[in-house]
Structure 1
Amino acid sequence: MSTNRYLVLSGHAQNSEEAISICADALHKAGIVGDEFGRKCCVRERSYPTGLPTEIPVAIPHCKDTGIQENAICILRLDKPVTFYRMDDDEEKIETRLVLNLAIKNPNEHLAVLQNLMGFLNNSDEIRRCMELPETELIDYLTAKIG
């Protein structure tokens, strides 16, 4: 599996679509994804929600897109929670302050990256660190923990 590139942002969003757009714009500006990536993630999120009911709720929006140039994860730490629907129950809402927008170039790697990430996110100490570490330390931490 390729190494991931990480972008870490902190900010404010009114809703889940805006949170996804903030991530997608950062990935686009970094030359990692094409200009359709954010829209495709939002469309996919409506049909296949990605909210995880972990101790500290997280969302991991993603999509398959030929415009992805390299593997990357944009981490958005929100000042106030936004509503995502749960991955395991699309009727249930969760309030999340941590969004991990995945851009995975090779569709065959998607599942492996998601499984690796799920193991990481099931540990509330790991999620707490994602919320608390300064940006550069968080990038080093994620690179060591996830790859």
Structure 2
Amino acid sequence: MARNKYLVIHGSASSDQEAISLCGNALMEAGLVGKSFIEKCLERETEYPTGLPTDIPTAIPHCKDDSITENSICFLKLEQPVTFRRMDDDEESVETDMIFNMAIKDPNEHLEALQNLMEFLGDSEALEQCRALSDAEVVDYLQTHIG
């Protein structure tokens, strides 16, 4: 699999939709996705929520979209947590201040990338590193640990 491009952004959002839009806009400004990516992520989140109830809860919004130009992940560090409905039980939710918005160009790589990311997010130590490191260090860390 080709190396991913990672973006690290900071912001504040009042909802999961707003958090997804922040990520999507950053990916769009970087030329990695088109406008349809944001809409498709928002639609998908409604039907298939992506909150992960790991020791340190996270969310991994994503979608399949033809406007993705390069494999990339936007990591958003929020000032205050927002609520995402859980992937494993959409009646339940998690509060998270860490969102990993994944944009994978090749549908065949999509599942593998998702599994790699979920494995990474199950590691509390890795998430503490993401929280503690500078943005540039987080990019290097993700590149090393996710690929």
In structure 2, what residue type is equivalent to 1:76?
L
RMSD: 0.6
Partner of 2:38: 38
| Partner SS, residue 36 of structure 1 | helix
Given the two structures, how large is their TM-score scaled by the length of structure 2? 0.99
Equivalent pairs, count: 147
Q: Does 1:16 align with 2:16?
A: yes
Query: 2:24 & 2:42 partners in 1: Cα distance?
Result: 10
Q: Where does the alignment leave 5 or more consecutive residues of structure 2 unmatched? A: none
CA offsets 1:80-115 (integer angstroms, 9 cap, x no match): 000000000010011011000000000110100011
Q: Does 1:56 align with 2:52?
A: no
Q: Does 1:72 align with 2:66?
A: no
In structure 2, what residue type is equivalent to 1:49?
P
Query: 2:57 & 2:85 partners in 1: Cα distance?
Result: 11
Consecutive aligned runs of 4 or more in structure 1 exceeding 3 Å deviation: none
Query: 2:60 & 2:78 partners in 1: Cα distance?
Result: 14
Query: 1:2 & 1:89 partners in 2: Cα distance?
Result: 32
Given the two structures, how large is their TM-score scaled by the length of structure 1? 0.99
CA drift at 1:131: 1.2
Partner of 2:97: 97
Partner of 2:2: 2
| Partner SS, residue 75 of structure 2 | strand
CA offsets 1:22-54 (integer angstroms, 9 cap, x no match): 000000000000111111100000000000001
CA drift at 1:119: 1.1
Q: Where does the alignment leave 5 or more consecutive residues of structure 1 unmatched? A: none
Q: Superposition pairs for residues 87-126 of structure 1, below 5 Å? A: 87-126=87-126
CA drift at 1:130: 1.0
